[in-house]
Structure 1
């Protein structure tokens, strides 16, 4: 419960951070902070928020709790690292002086036990502040105001004019593609948004969800994605941006039945595979007011899902597909299924436009040359001979199978190892905040000795590896991550500076996803410029190649060179506002 004047002052300060003119006007009213804290408290608070000296967020209990966020704790830390933590009831109210209250204080410099208590409070604060506690939803102040989560004790008028907009026109202009994408969806009601990684697909989808709810067009939403990391990321975003209860149906979470019991005004977050089980059990009467969001929608076209989901998605009134690369190369059936069940591509915003606007960062392309070994050439010739022999025998021999076989030989050739060793020995910074993509864990074992020789702080992140490895890398506690496919899609780690592509397919789908891992703007590194290290083998002239697969490296190189030449347009400042992403 706030006075309207208090809320208005806090919100004005938050708006001023993104609006230079408003901030300048606000700052100009402050001559003496100490005097204004005593005599013009609201203006002083607004000024400190605008300058980043204060932040406010609002915590709301989730559906599992029916009370208030009533905990009181905090941490103070000085320049030397000493800290005090408190936990208790330091209420500054008339009634507090009549209540039975208590408070505990911990001092980090006394002993290890006290220091551990301070760290526990610090970790708990950061968990809640960053919306990581599943029992709470935490909103930045402007979102809390917009969602009417703040109640007022009076109905007095705002003491100054309403600030115009939450950001400068320039900033809004840079992100106009999100509004254009949403407008395209509202026009058609179903379809695919093809948006480069890092340009706000998730935020756009959430805006569409909220707009459909506000218009009364939907009562239920289902979000389908693939991979625990991406699903967990969606869970955090849903808790942060919607007030609806979110049920999960993936990994250890078995909440699909709870959702099906009461789908109205609820969201189900599920793996793509679980759609086969969930959709037949959802009451058909709910379909007309349901939004289905399929993230990385290209994965929906796999043969198994095509077989089990044909005809099951189209009855849902609103169907939204998201992908940076929606087309499935060499898979006409999968592409046809996605278009029939979800819809065609209705909006495109690519890497070129994103780099030009400063939404994604510029990057340098490093080409490392290698030559196929005699064994590799023999393996390719044998693969081609087998393909022709099957064709002559009248056996079904899909050319796509030959494409993949040749591509795999190139992905696992050991001839890439030595050029990599020579490059990173000369350029060790290429391994700083770096993700190395390999085809198999066995191939990764060939790379590991190089990392160990250079004393690189790294860990693997394969299918069976602990997910804590990804968290350590995301936090900056690991310098380098060695992985296969697990983080090709969707994961948002903005501090990644470098990627190394030992394994790249001719189809750009996976390459675009991996490129997106390093092009995201890092709010903690204004000067970020990414680096892509790639392996290119000129097409051998002594090998017959009916597939054209042996020219794939050169095609990919030319594409990378074209992208790396793109520069941010003057007047498009680098994005530093996390709320837009």
Structure 2
């Protein structure tokens, strides 16, 4: 009679899976005499379990037999981050176990997954994920505890179907009793497995399967897996989930006072939106607390709803993080979609909807305007059966045809936020935007905000002239514009718009602004918490400003799209700036919308566009209250461009510069600091009357 030891000793030491049936020749005989197994694998596929169904079913016939996997899927950095976030938020990580390509309804109900789910529920199979901080875990080791001792199957074959069956791989079979070196090998393998399993390694994270993962597996299984056991398992798991999972709900924080004091306008805005039937636009000045106001609106709207999804659409990716931080103050862990593509966002929304079916709750998803516009995102959201609320931040940007011509009409609760909701030169887009979100139901202007929730400011104007080259180019563009201005042809109108933008770029980037800027910053007494806005129409001005600051010995950092695309860098820069370690920030258009850096107290507007919206947004960056620094007043330096000669070609230049000056002067502190601006304004007014 052949003993177990004889069976194990008769197995060859080396195998090539593509040449023989590795299941029959190796895994099956080992499983027949084993009690438990541990697998450490850099790749994992549920198809490997399917291929090993026969030996594993033999092993699991023993009611005490158990199996453990430590896997490290070959994930991108984006997937790693999403997986860690899912685990930290106690969200399901099941999708990551079986691979994105296999996440289909059919795959979720296959017998293999039912078996995995059943074994996990019976506590006979456990899976943990190892994510290396650098590189990846690339081991391929199976450890079996047999009746005769420990054995190992190791080599180049991964825990995948191709790794075990198809590829040209090599596997080695080692028995600890065969030699001292074999025992050393197996002991070292077991030790490494345990350090991963217990999360005792500094070079990696170990993630456990959590409640929501198990619940997702439970939902994907059929009730006939075990007619006798399944009802008990279901009741036990449901009770466990009820005890351990706290249903998330949007909750207004106790510290937030939106009825009295400097921010009582927030309560008035909330009431106006509710009276309008939970739709409408709030026109609240930058710094007036639009974000918190909208989240209170959402909390009230969802108060009687057992389940609901809050969708927050923002104009750019860096604002996702800021909104997510505010949402956390309302007792929700938001879904932060920064760095996630459309397919990933769809997957997150689908998973959220599935979780709501199991555990009714409130969820918040923060995404960009561009993501909201996609058919894929709108389609998956439309499948949600409960209430959805949409907050459109800086909603004027959503007035473009790509949104208003096909908006998500299935969303009932709608709130638009903007300091300047009307789209300049686009009345049709403005009308469609109001048709969708609802009209402006409450206004809180800059005039009302300054001195209350915004600090007052001093306005200093500095006179500069176009140089001869800039003057000649301005005239050239003006002549071309005037010759085309009366045409009704669409293509001609587009050409006129392009010429006007090019002409505007001349005044925004006027070379003489550089020397005027240098003169001002060189005498700046308090350097910290300063900001310089440069034109976005060419890179030269920003480069020159940076060179000037370098020459003057400033500690500065620029913020452009390159910086904002790196969230860790942005966090470091802003933190250093707030501490005063970086004295001045230089930027183009990227800081116009949404960025909240309250310590800014001195701003240089080297380039100002002709739109009031830009003035409002940039002024709002500077006037925010700062409890950390105790800021009482801010200072704006504006660079006013004059023509070198008073001829009719420069009429628009003079008019635009005068209009901007008068707007800032109307809001500024009325004291002697305004004298120079008044003098320059009077000069422009006199020139305008001549032209």
Q: What TM-score range do you get, normalising by the shorter chain? A: 0.5 to 0.7
Mapped pair 1:247 → 2:335: yes
Pick closer, same or farther for the CA change 1:185–1:236 going to 2, 3 Å.
same
Give the ranges of 4+ consecutive aligned residues of structure 1 lying more than 6 Å apart after TM superposition. Answer: 165-169
**Residue by residue, what CA displacement relative to the aligned partner does 1:366-405 show, whole Å, maximum 9, x if unpaired?**
1111111222222122112222333577743335444423
Q: Deviations over 1:324-347 (max 9, x none)?
A: 121221222332231222222111
Match of 1:451 in 2: 549
Distance 1:182 1:217, change over 3 A: farther
| Contact 2:320–2:337 under 8 Å retained in 1 | no
Find the aligned partners of 1:516 and 1:280 in 2 and give their Cα distance.
Answer: 32
Report what 1:437 is aligned to: 533
Distance of 2:324 and 2:257 partners within structure 1? 30
The offset of 1:224, in angstroms, is 0.4
Residue in 1 aligned with 2:660? 556
Higher relative contact order (CA 8 A, sep 6+): 1
Instruction: Give the aligned partner of residue 372 of structure 1.
Output: 466
Q: What corresponds to 1:215 in structure 2?
A: 304
SS of equivalent residue, structure 1 residue 464: helix
| Counterpart position of 2:229 | none
Instruction: Write the distance in 2 (CA, Å) between the matches of 1:202 and 1:233.
Output: 10
Q: Is the 8 A contact 2:592 2:621 kept in 1?
A: yes
Q: Give the alignment's TM-score, normalised by structure 1.
A: 0.64
1:289-438 aligned within 5 A: 289-302=387-400, 306-357=401-452, 359-391=453-485, 395-396=489-490, 397-398=492-493, 400-429=497-526, 431-438=527-534
Separation in structure 2 between the aligned mates of residue 289 and residue 470 of structure 1, nearest angstrom: 35
Q: What is the TM-score of this pair, normalised by structure 2?
A: 0.55
SS of the residue 2:592 aligns to:
coil
Tell me if the contact between 2:530 and 2:602 (Cα under 8 Å) persists in the aligned partners. Answer: yes
Decide whether the 8 Å contact of 2:599 with 2:631 is kept in 1.
Answer: no
Q: Which residue does 1:258 correspond to in 2?
A: 348
- Do the aligned partners of 1:433 and 1:497 also contact (CA within 8 Å) in 2? yes
- Map 1:428-577; keep pairs closer than 5 Å: 428-429=525-526, 431-439=527-535, 440-465=538-563, 466-475=566-575, 476=579, 477-538=581-642, 542-545=646-649, 548-565=652-669
Cα contact 1:461–1:467 (8 A) shared by 2: no
Assess, with a 3 A threshold, how the Cα gap between structure 1 residues 147 and 379 changes in structure 2: closer, same or farther. Answer: closer
Q: How far off is 1:180 after superposition? A: 0.7
**Residue 539 to residue 443, structure 1, CA distance change in 2 (3 Å):** closer
Please tell me whether residue 275 in structure 1 is matched to residue 363 in structure 2: no
Q: How many corresponding residue pairs?
A: 410
SS class of match (1:335): helix
SS at 1:214's partner residue?
Answer: coil
3-state SS of the aligned residue for 2:408?
coil
Q: CA 1:419/1:147 → structure 2, altered by over 3 Å: closer, same or farther? A: closer
**Highest Rg: 1 or 2?**
2
Alignment of 1:177 onto 2:265: yes
Q: Distance in 1 between matches of 2:318 and 2:609?
A: 23
Distance 2:329 2:522 in 1: 43
What secondary structure sits across from 1:426 in the alignment?
A: coil
Q: CA deviation at 1:176?
A: 1.3
Q: How does 1:176-195 map to 2 (within 5 A)?
A: 176-188=264-276, 189-195=278-284
After superposition, what is the alpha-carbon deviation per residue over 1:163-213, rounded to whole angstroms, capped at 9, x for unaligned?
xx96999x8232211011111111112221111111110000110111111
Aligned match for 1:200, one of 272, 280, 289: 289
Q: 1:562 to 1:309 in 2, by over 3 A?
A: closer
User: Which ranges in structure 1 are unaligned for 5 or more consecutive residues?
Assistant: 1-60, 67-143, 150-164, 568-581
Asked whether the equivalents of residues 465 and 512 of structure 2 are also in contact (C-alpha less than 8 Å), the reply is yes
The alignment partner of 1:491 has SS state of coil
Deviations 1:132-186 (A, max 9, x none): xxxxxxxxxxxx999599xxxxxxxxxxxxxxx96999x8232211011111111
Cα distance in 1 for partners of 2:465, 2:372 equals 45
* SS class of match (1:370): strand
CA contact under 8 A between 1:494 and 1:518: conserved in structure 2?
A: yes
Distance 2:255 2:326 in 1: 20
Contact 2:393–2:417 (Cα < 8 Å) also in 1: yes
Question: Deviation at 1:545?
Answer: 4.8
Find the aligned partners of 1:212 and 1:415 in 2 and give their Cα distance: 54
